[in-house]
Amino acid sequence: MLLTSGRIRHFTAEGCFDTIDIFEQQACLGGVWNYYPHIPSHDIDVPQTNPHQLPEEPYWSYKKDCGASAKDVEPRPMFITPMYDRLESNIPNFLMKYSDDSSLEDLPLFPRHELVLQYLQTYGSEIRHLVKFQTQVYDVRQVSHDEREGWLVCSKNIISNKATEKLYDAVAVANGHYSLPTLPDIPGIKQWNEAYPRAITHSKFYRSPDAFAGQKVVIIGNSASGLDIAAQIGSVSKLPVVVSKRSESSPSPKSNPNRKFERPEIIEFLSPINDTRAVKFADGTVESRIDRVVFCTGYYFSFPFLSSVKPPFTTTGERVENLYKHLFSIDHPSIAFLGIPTKIIPFRTCEGQAAIVARVWSSCLNLPNKLKMKEWETQRVADRGDDKKFHELRLLEDLAYHNEMVDWAKEASPTGVGKIPPKWSKKDEWTRCRVGAIKAAYIDRGEARSSVRRMEELGFNYEDWLEAEHQS
């Protein structure tokens, strides 16, 4: 068996797998939560519309990232993540935590990224011996193995460049989807970028607002990260920060209306011939003298190491294709993808998924036949579309999805000794519906917010609400 990231306690607990290997290209546990403040200057493709790119190249650093000591003199390979200096979680600690480790609740209600990283590294310490760090998988190839489907996994050690091949019965893909940025092809953007090099960037490369001091900035996208980055940049840039959006924003902290100005989507980057550094919005308005444009427009699903597998798992990069329940490959059920759904509470969602995959691969659960699985995908496309909305779980759908996984795992026969996470409660559902408002109240506490541990301190009390409902 191969695993490319954490989520492994459910596999080891099942006690049915002779070999479990985890391939991790970073130097330490934590995945996307690894923060590297010292990233090199970069030239991003503008536009960036190609989801089919080669495996990511590392950059080499002498900095004390990833636990390196001051005595380290050897360069360390790093892979850039979208973590930035002042990032805080947008999920309360008691919802965000793994079900079997409540220590996250000892931290601020919305913990900073370095605290989440510590939590993950501590949580994963018992399976570190299974991890091949600084090892990049560059090809996964279907082979015949004991008269059944098998997978030849080709990897290389990033330090030594030594290549290794090993045969596995199953492959769990958990490489995340925050690696390959999307940067749309808006009319005029290429010429604008050529005229003003590095004026256009993507949120993946944002680290702190300092680089934007005194500049006029346009933020494209109003996701949680887009709004957070806009607020941070607005503390040092020219005001107001212009936020270009296609949909309504989630609840956000009270802000000075002079700090942020919302516009519809950009429809054109105007010709640089007149050197006005201008863009045009869908309502016909124009903003000029723009110094920087930050795209907070998300990422492609990208699996360069699966390019030889047919049919392809993605063509547009907007969704994973031929997938049942956002989890199992329909054509190759011995490949599973963990963490694909978006707008979810990721740790607990992946727990439920891992429980299912472990029990299916240990022959304690059966998948529907191929026709039934394809019918599910076809219906999902009809309901949500054949784009990034396919994997989007709307409010409370992520909790329902997790509960479905838990109920499914309980159907295992024999029941086995594996781990099954608990289902979400009514209180969890109540809280999930109010996360945006809770985060806004938390941010409004200013610097004092780091002392807040529980949502009740901000006036959000489920028991009081429930009693009031019973009395009304």
Distance of CA 299 to the CA centre of its chain: 9
User: Do the beta carbons of residue 14 and residue 418 sit within 8 Å?
Assistant: yes
Give the number of residues written for the chain. Answer: 472
User: Do the beta carbons of residue 285 and residue 297 sit within 8 Å?
Assistant: no
Q: Which H or E run includes 201?
A: strand 200-202
Name which of 314, 385, 316, 355 is nearest 172 in CA terms: 355
Name which of 215, 257, 255 is nearest 237 in CA terms: 215
Q: With a cut of 60, say whether residue 72 has pLDDT above it.
A: no
pTM summary value: 0.92
Which residues have CB under 8 Å from 187's CB, separation 6+? 267, 268, 269
Q: How confident is the model at residue 3 (pLDDT cuts 50, 70, 90)?
A: very low
Instruction: Give the model confidence (pLDDT) of 271-316 as tens digits.
Output: 999 889 999 999 999 999 999 999 999 999 999 999 999 999 999 9
User: Rounded to an integer, what distance in angstroms lies between the CA atom of residue 247 and that of residue 403?
Assistant: 29
User: Do the beta carbons of residue 175 and residue 22 sit within 8 Å?
Assistant: no
Q: What is the pLDDT of residue 144?
A: 83
For residue 134, the 8-state DSSP code is: T
Which residues have CB under 8 Å from 266's CB, separation 6+? 186, 218, 220, 244, 279, 280, 281, 282
Of the chain, the percentage scoring pLDDT greater than 70 comes to: 91
Q: With a cut of 50, say whether residue 268 has pLDDT above it.
A: yes
Q: What is the mean pLDDT of residues 405-416?
A: 86
Q: What is the pLDDT of residue 328?
A: 98
Q: What is the pLDDT of residue 259?
A: 75
Question: How far, in Å, are 66, 172, 370, 373, 425 from residue 332 at the CA level?
Answer: 35, 12, 10, 12, 34
Q: What is the pLDDT of residue 359?
A: 93
User: Rounded to an integer, what distance in angstroms lies between the CA atom of residue 279 and that of residue 285?
Assistant: 9
Which amino acid would we find at residue 277? Answer: R
Q: How confident is the model at residue 6 (pLDDT cuts 50, 70, 90)?
A: very low
Q: How confident is the model at residue 254 (pLDDT cuts 50, 70, 90)?
A: low
User: Do the beta carbons of residue 442 and residue 110 sit within 8 Å?
Assistant: yes
**Residue 185: exposed, middle, or buried by beta-carbon count in 10 A (0-12, 13-18, 19+)?**
exposed
Which residues have CB under 8 Å from 336's CB, separation 6+? 170, 171, 172, 173, 327, 328, 329, 353, 357, 361
Instruction: Give the model confidence (pLDDT) of 119-154 as tens digits.
Output: 999 999 999 999 999 999 999 999 986 777 799 999
Q: Is 128 helix (H, G, I), strand (E, B) or coil?
A: helix
Q: What is the pLDDT of residue 1?
A: 44
User: Rounded to an integer, what distance in angstroms lies between the CA atom of residue 34 and that of residue 25?
Assistant: 12
Q: With a cut of 80, say whether residue 431 has pLDDT above it.
A: yes
Q: With a cut of 90, say whether residue 258 has pLDDT above it.
A: no
Higher per-residue pLDDT: 54 or 418: 54
Q: What is the pLDDT of residue 42?
A: 75
Q: Which H or E run includes 348?
A: helix 346-361
Give me the chain's average pLDDT, please. 91
Q: With a cut of 80, say whether residue 356 has pLDDT above it.
A: yes
User: Rounded to an integer, what distance in angstroms lies between the CA atom of residue 114 and that of residue 123?
Assistant: 14
Question: For 91, phi and psi rounded to 5 degrees?
Answer: -125, 135
Q: With a cut of 70, say whether residue 227 has pLDDT above it.
A: yes
Least confident of 2-16, 79-93, 222-236, 371-385: 2-16
Least confident of 7-16, 148-157, 214-223, 459-468: 7-16
DSSP 243-279: EE-SSPPPP-----TTTEEEE--EEEE--GGG----E
Q: What is the pLDDT of residue 400?
A: 98
Name which of 370, 317, 374, 372 is nearest 340 in CA terms: 317
Q: What is the mean pLDDT of residues 179-186?
A: 96
Residues 140-144: contacts with CB under 8 Å, at least 24 apart: 140/2, 140/171, 140/305, 140/306, 140/308, 140/309, 141/308, 141/309, 142/308, 142/309, 142/332, 143/167
Question: For 216, phi and psi rounded to 5 degrees?
Answer: -90, 125
Residue in the block written with tokens 């100005």: 261
User: Rounded to an integer, what distance in angstroms lies between the CA atom of residue 449 and that of residue 86?
Assistant: 13
Of the chain, the percentage scoring pLDDT greater than 90 comes to: 82
User: Do the beta carbons of residue 391 and residue 341 sit within 8 Å?
Assistant: yes
H helix and E strand count, the chain:
11, 22
